[in-house]
């Protein structure tokens, strides 16, 4: 893996849990500082400064068929220091807590998909249940 920073590449930034901390005089820009490679070698550790806070996270390439766990960003390395990149947000995955509770069914158990036509077809193939003849003893 090359140590050269990405050139205008889209990637996923996933913040590490509990790493956000407010800074008193942060600029209004969105900047990422590239760090060392991740343990698996598939990404890079980053520190991101935006919206008056500092976050630590990982930068990984987008992979087809893999879920997006953070944000999709585009990085533009600065000419004066290529390990510092200006960030442009492209997409943020919706948070699970914002999705709300899953819809509830009106009944318990599996979905009821047997229609009248299905039941009539079943009776034609397998025969109807015998009707009780008279009172049971």
The DSSP bridge partners found for residue 71 are 13, 92
- Mean pLDDT to the nearest integer, 122-128: 75
Q: Give the DSSP letter string of 92-135.
A: EPPPGGGG-SPPPPSSSSS-----HHHHHHHHHHH-PPPPP-S-
Residue 111 has what pLDDT?
74
- Mean pLDDT to the nearest integer, 11-26: 53
Q: How many CA atoms lie within 13 A of 133 on its CB side?
A: 1
Q: Does residue 97 have a pLDDT over 70? A: no
pLDDT in tens, 31-43: 999 999 999 999 9
Domain ranges of the chain: 10-93
CA 94 to CA 71: how far, in whole Å? 9
Query: pLDDT averaged over the chain?
Result: 76
Say how far residue 39 (Cα) sits from the centre of its chain: 22
- Two tokens, residue 5: 């920073």
Q: Are 48 and 31 in contact (CB under 8 A)?
A: yes
N- to C-terminal Cα separation, the chain: 83
Percent of the chain exceeding pLDDT 70 equals: 68
The DSSP bridge partners found for residue 106 are none
Q: Find the radius of gyration of the CA atoms of the chain.
A: 28
The DSSP bridge partners found for residue 12 are 60, 72
Q: How confident is the model at residue 80 (pLDDT cuts 50, 70, 90)?
A: very high
CA 95 to CA 108: how far, in whole Å? 28
């Amino acid at each position: 893996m090359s140590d050269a920073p990405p050139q205008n590449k889209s990637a996923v930034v996933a913040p590490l849990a509990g790493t956000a901390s407010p800074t008193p005089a942060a600029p209004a820009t969105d900047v990422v500082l590239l760090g060392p490679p991740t343990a698996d070698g598939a990404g890079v550790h980053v520190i991101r400064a935006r919206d008056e806070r500092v976050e630590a996270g990982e930068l990984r390439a987008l992979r087809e068929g893999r879920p997006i766990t953070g944000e999709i960003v585009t990085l533009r390395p600065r000419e004066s220091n290529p390990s510092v990149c200006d960030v442009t947000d492209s997409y943020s995955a919706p948070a699970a807590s914002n999705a709300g509770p899953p819809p509830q069914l009106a009944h318990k158990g599996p979905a009821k998909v047997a229609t009248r036509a299905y039941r009539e077809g079943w009776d034609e193939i397998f025969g109807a249940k015998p009707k009780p003849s008279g009172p049971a003893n």
